[in-house]
Structure 1
Amino acid sequence: MGEPVPDQPDGILLAVGGSPARADTLDVLRQAGTRHYQAVVVKARGEDFQAAAYEANAAGVCLLVTPDDMTWRQLDALITASVAGITAARTTAYAQISTGDLFALANAIACRVGGATTVEDPRGRVLAYSNLPHQRTDEVRRQSILQRQSPRRPAGAAAYERVCRAQGPVMLRSEEPGRCHRRAIAVRAGQNVLALLWVLDGEPALPEGAEAALEEAARITALHLLRSRDRGSAGQWNRASALAALLEGRVSERVAAEQLGIDSDTPTTLLAVARTTEDTPAGLGEGRVIDLVRRYCEALHPRAICTEAGEVVYALVPVTDGDRPGRRVMKLAEDLAQAVQRNTSVPLHIGIAGPAAYLRDVPSCRHTADRVLSALADGTDRLEVATIEHVHSRVVLLELVALGAAAIDLPADPVQQLIAYDLRHATTYTETLLAYLDAFGEASRAAAAICVHENTLRYRIRRLQELFALDLSDADTRLVTWLRLRLRHLDA
C-alpha cells in the first residue's frame, strides 16, 4: 500500500496491508480500474466494506475478500497453482474433460501415465479411480474402491506422510505378495495438499517419462479440484470462514451478516459437535462427520453453515418463529448423532445453544455450547445431545472446578481427613459417602451403585461419621460434603 499500482491488464491485485475502509485502499481500487485489472483482493479485518464495494463497482473491477487468517503468500500460491494448470489442461489428453469430472480425469491420467490410477483426499477417502480394463490392479486397490477409503495398514500413515512432504513423485515399493509397487504424488495448491494421486507400477512397469506425466497430472488435478471448489463450494467456504471469524469475535455483526448472507436480526441456534473421546477413530469418520453435519443442518434451513475449530464442528442454523424451533433443532441433533454413529461408528456429543436474537450474540452462544459439550463429556447420564437446560447443574459444577473450588484446603477438614484415610488404609469411605449422598441417602440405591450389600453400606456410613466427625443429619454438612466430593471427582 502507498505505492503506485503497476500496469498489469487483466491481472489480480493483492492489496497487501490494506483494509476496506481506508482511503488508500479505495484509491488503489480506482487505480486498478484505470489500469484494467480484473480483480482486487483485500482482507476485511472486521471492517465494513460497503465503500470498497462501491468504488470497485465504479472502477469496473471485481472486489474479492480473503480470510484474515490466510497469509498473502498462501493466496498467491493458490492463484499461481490455478494458472499453472491451465496450459497443461489444454493438452490433447485432458482438453475434453469437463471440470470436476474426476473419474474421466482418472482414466485420462491412467492412460497418459500408464497405470491404474486412484485419486484420494488427504484423509485417504477415494474421490475417483480409473477403470481401464487392460490395466492391472491389486487387492489393496480393490478394497479401497469398494470401501471408498484406503485400508488402514501399519505402514500406511508413514507412506502418506512421505508423499505429502515430497515435492514430486514418490516410488513406494512393496514386498507383499500380490501387491503392486506404486508411484504417488501430492496434488498441491501452494503448500496446501488438495489430494493424492496413486498409480500402480506393476507388470509391465510404467514407461519412461511416467514421472513427468504424473507431475503434469498433479497440476491438472489441482486445477479441476480448485475449479470444482470455486463452482460448488467457494461460497460455502467463504461463509464458513465468516462464521469462524464471528465465533471468535473477529468480525463485526454487519460484516458477518454480509458474508453469511443472513440478516443481523435473524434468530439462530448454534450446534457444537465433537467426538465423544479423543481416541475415537479419526480419518474417514472425521471427514464424513463434517459432511453429515452440513447436510442435516442445510435440510433444516438452506442458509445453515458449518465451520471447524480444532476438534469441534460448529453449525449455525437460522430458526423461524411459530414452529417450536427448539424441538426441531433437538430432533435434528438426535437424528444427526444416530446417523453419524450408524454410518461411521463415530459417537458424538452435540451441545446446543440459543436461539441468539442477533448475530452479535453468536459468540456468547458458542461459549454456552462449549460448556454443554464439557458437561456431556463428563458422561454421568450418557446424554448425546443437550442444551444448557439439560446439564445446567453439571455446568455449574464444572465452573466451580475451573475456579479452583475443588482445591479448597481448610484446617481440621473432615473431607480431607476422609480422603487421606482412604489413601493410607486402602479403604473406600470416599466412594461410599459420595454414592450415599448421590442417592439422597437411599441405602439400597447407593449400595447398588458401588456393588456392595445394603448392610455393608449402612455400616460404612455409621463408621465414617464416627471416624471423621461428620454429622450427616445437618443439611449444610451434607451439601458441602457432597459438593466437595463431587468437584473432586470432576477434577480427577
Structure 2
Amino acid sequence: MIDVRSVVDRVGTTLLHASYVPDKPRGVSDVVIAEPDGRTQIGSGDLVLAVAANTAADAVRLTEQCGAQEAAALLCKPPLAKRVGVQRAARQAGTALIEVRAGTSWTQLVLLLRGVLDDASDEVHAPEGEPGSADLFRMADAVAAVVDAPVTIEDANSRVLAYSARQDRTDPARVSTVMGRRIPNDVMAKFRSRGVFRDLSKGKQTIYVPEQPDGTLPRLIVPIRLGGELLGSMWAVVPGPVAEERAAAFADAGPVVALQLLRRRARAGARQARVAELLRGLLQGTGSSKLAAAEMDLVAGPYRVVAIDAVNAEAPDAEGVRLALAERIARGVGAPLVTEVDGLLYAIVPVDSWSRFREGLATERNHGSLVAGAGEPVGLAELPRSRGQADETLGLLHAGLVAGPVADHGQAWQVLTLHRLAVNVGSGLTELGPLESLRAHDSANGTNYVDTLYEWLRHPGDPRAAGEALCIHPNTLRYRMRKVLAITEIDLDDPDTRLALLAQLIALRWN
C-alpha cells in the first residue's frame, strides 16, 4: 500500500506540500471530502480533504477526528496547515498534515489523487502491465461523468490515449476514432475546416462544434495544456450545446489530465532509459542477465542479436533517422527490444520471431538504406557472443562479401571462414603472388580486372552468374579473364592457386 509521503511525491510540489508527516506514515486507502456538517465517514488510511474547514478551530476538530479514525492525512488550504494549533493537533493525532497550494481546484485534486492511488494499485496487482497503464482510462471515465458524455483523451497528434465507457452511444466518426486509435483523416479534415485545430493551438478553454450535415454529432473539446505546452485534448460527444457550468467543469479537468499525461510521459521515458541501459549491459557483457530478465520479464532464450545500420554515420540527420527507425521496428517489425550502441541499432529477437522480423526488415528497407546482420541463437547470458557475430555479418554486408540487405551469420559460414582466414593471416597477405601486378594494372589503366577475377572465382564454371554480379555480358567476362591471364600468367587450373587468390581478394575487400 502506498503511504502519504509517496502520494505527495507523486503528485508533486506544484500542488502539495507536506507540513507534517509522522516518522512512520500510514498507508493510504481512499480519498474522502469532509462535509461541512461534520458527519463525514472517515476510515483508516483515508486522505481527508478539508473542503469545509474555514478556521483553525475547524481544522483542529477535523484533525482530531482523523486521528481517532487513523486517517492517513488531512489536506487543507493555506493558511490553515501552517497554524501552530493545527500542526500540534496533527502531531498528537499521528496524522499527516498536507498543505494544498492556493488556487488548486478541489475537484481536480480529487481526480489526481484517485489516479495516483489507482496507479499504485496497478503496480501491486498488475505486474504484467506497465505501471499506471489504466490511469488515463479511469480518468476518461471520471471526466465523462463530469460532462455526462462519452469522452476520448488524445495526444497532440490526435492519437487516442484513452476513452471512457458509453462509446456505443456516439456516431460512426467516434467509433472509427476509438477503433483506429486516432481520428480518421476524413473526419480530421472536417474538423480542421471548421478551425478546430487552430482554436486548440490558440488555447481556447472550450470549443463547441455543432452537428455536421453528415450526421456527425456535436463535440465539446477542451485543450490539455501545462506550462504553455499543448499536450493533447479531450473530446466529448454531446447531444447539443452544453450548460455553462458543465462545460466549465469539463474544462477544469484539463489541468488534471495534463498532469497525468506528464506523469505518463516521464514514466515512459524513465522506463525506456532503464530498458536501454539494461540492454546495453547485456550486449556489452557488463550487465546481469538475471537482473535484466527479472526487470524486463524475459525468458532465458534463445535470442538472436541483430545489428542494424540504418544510415551513413556522417549524415547530419543520422541520429534522428536511427531513432525513427528504432520506433518503427519496435512497433511494426516485431522486435520486442531495441537499443543503440555506438551508432548502430541492436534488436534482441526471440528465435520463434526471427522469420517474421527478417521479413519486416526487408519491408522496412523501403524507408531508406538499411543493412542488418544477425548472430546465432543464444541464451540471455550469451548475448555478447551473438552480438559479435551480428557485427561480423554486418561487416561482410558492408564489404559486399554477402548479399543483403539482411544476412544470417549461420548461413554465411563459407564467406566467414574465408574472411577469418584472410584477416587473421595479416595485412601482408595481399602482397604475395601475382595479385599486386593486377592491382597495379587496374590503377594505371582504369580497368576492373581485380573485381573480375574475384567474381570469376566466386562463380566457378558459371560465367553468366559472374557477369551478372559485375553487370556485364558473359562474353565480356571471358574477354577480361583472358586479359587477366595475359597480365599475371596465373594457373587457375590449380585448386590451391584459386583458394589462395580468393583468400587474398577477400582480405583486400575487407581491409
Report the TM-score, using the length of structure 1 for normalisation: 0.49
For the pair shown, the structure with the greater C-alpha radius of gyration is 2
